[in-house]
Amino acid sequence: MPYNVATIVFLIAIVFTMVAQAKVNSNFRRYSGIRNERGISGAEAARRVLDANGLRDVEIQQIAGNLTDHYDPRSRVLRLSQSVYGVDSIAAVSVACHEAGHAIQHAENYMPLRLRNGIVPVVNFASRFSWILIIIGIAMMAAGNYIGNTLFDIGVIFFVAVIVFHAVTLPVEFNASHRAMQQMESAGIIAEDEERGARKVLWAAAMTYVASLAVAIANLLRILAMRGRD
């Protein structure tokens, strides 16, 4: 692929990411201002879901930040941000139940989650050194040193590992959102007329992971196009 075309693809992916993130923020703000009819906080919603699935031993903690919510499989702790933990909005319970969905995945040994967690150390290493190797490789190739080819190729392999991580993350996140909707409905956490808002919050969040994958792939195309210019 010509470098100019690869750059255009990369810029389109960046715009997609910005739009996706804006949608997340917009939907979260909108539905953070709408109190759920049951008056259930994010922490209470997560507790209901966890208990209903036999996960009473999973602790729920409040952490600082906005949308910093996550489930830690190592310590079996579900951490909810200040904008979710004690808030009784549609957005808060949606995010909390999504994270509880990850805890259920962990308890059920959901394969995509196991795969993602298993490759995290490799991906962390690869993401740290991929660009370094690629840049050094390009510089050495430009200087006529053929060792640069090898370094560049290793850097590309490392970068592909990062793409694999993003790809594996997609089913994990979409499945957690699907579980969240099922759990909220079965546990009576949200009313029927609130389901549309909950889906909007969860769908917008999922799109950010799609955008991350798109940017990573576009970046790889740009990297390969760089080599083609040398």
- In the sheet with 77-81, reading across from the earlier edge strand, the strands are 59-63, 77-81, 70-72
C-beta neighbour count of 154 within 10 angstroms = 16
Cα distance from N-terminal residue to C-terminal residue, the chain: 13
The SS3 call for residue 77 is strand
Q: Find all residues with CB under 8 Å of 1, minimum gap 6, and list them.
A: 9, 221, 224, 225, 228
Q: Are 27 and 211 in contact (CB under 8 A)?
A: no
Question: Smallest Cα–Cα separation from 31: which of 76, 108, 93?
Answer: 93
Catalytic residue (one of 99, 108, 173, 195): 99
Reply yes or no on whether 37 is catalytic.
no
Catalogue the active-site residues.
Answer: 99
